[in-house]
Amino acid sequence: MNRRLPALALTAALAACQPMPAPDTAQTAAATPDAAADAAFAELSKRTLDGWLALSPVGATQIGEHRYDDQIDDLSAAGRQKSLDFAKNALVELGKLDTAKLSRDNQVDAALLRNQLESMVWNTETLQDWAWDPQVYNGLAGGALYNVMAREFAPLPQRLQSAIARMEKIPALLAQARENLDPARVPKIHAETVAKQNPGILSIVEQFITPHAKELSDADQTRLAMATATLKEAVQEHQQWLDKTLVPTAHGDFRLGADKYDRKLKFNLLSSLSRAEIKQRAEAELVRVREEMYEIARAELLHDYAHQITKNPLELPNDPTPEQQQAAIEAALELAYAEKPARDKVVEEATASLKSATDFVRQKDLVTLPDAPVKIILMPEFQRGVAVAYCDSPGPLDKGLETFYAISPIPDDWSAQQTDSFLREYNDRMIHLLSIHEGTPGHYLEGWHSAKYPSVLRGVLRSGLFAEGWAVYTERMMQQQGYLDGDPLFHLVQLKFYLRTIANAILDQGVHVDGWSREQAMDLMVRQAFQQEREAAGKWVRAQLTSAQLPTYFVGAQEHFDLREAVQEKEGEKFDLKAYHDRVLSYGAPPVRFVRELMLDQPIG
pLDDT tens sequence across 123-153? 999 999 999 999 999 999 999 999 999 999 9
Q: Are 16 and 456 in contact (CB under 8 A)?
A: yes
Q: What CA–CA distance (Å, rounded) separates 550 from 278?
A: 12
One-letter amino acid at 422 equals F
In Å, how far are 190, 314, 316, 326, 492 from 291, measured between CA atoms?
38, 16, 12, 10, 11
pLDDT tens digits along 205-254: 999 999 999 999 999 999 999 999 999 999 999 999 999 999 999 999 99
Whole-prediction pTM value?
0.91
pLDDT at 311: 54
Percentage of the chain lying above the pLDDT 70 cut: 93
pLDDT at res. 31: 53
**C-alpha radius of gyration, the chain, whole number:** 24
3-state DSSP of 389-437: EEEECCCCCCCCCCEEEEECCCCCCCCHHHHHHHHHHCCHHHHHHHHHH
Cα gap 199→363, rounded to integer Å: 45
Q: Which residues fall within 8 angstroms of residue 259, CB to CB, at 6 or more apart?
A: none
Per-residue pLDDT at 17: 36
**pLDDT tens digits along 334-364:** 999 999 999 999 999 999 999 999 999 999 9
Average pLDDT for residues 154-164, to the nearest whole number? 97
Tell whether the model's pLDDT for residue 4 goes beyond 50.
no
* Contact between 115 and 268 (Cβ < 8 Å): no
> What is the number of other CB atoms lying within 10 angstroms of the CB of residue 251?
13
As a whole number, mean pLDDT of residues 5-31 equals 39
Looking at the predicted structure, is the pLDDT value of residue 307 above 60?
no
CA separation for the pair 334, 46 (Å, rounded): 57
β-pairing, 389-392 with 403-407?
antiparallel
Residue 169: per-residue pLDDT: 98
End-to-end CA distance of the chain: 27
- Per cent of the chain over pLDDT 90 is 83
Mean pLDDT within 471-485: 98
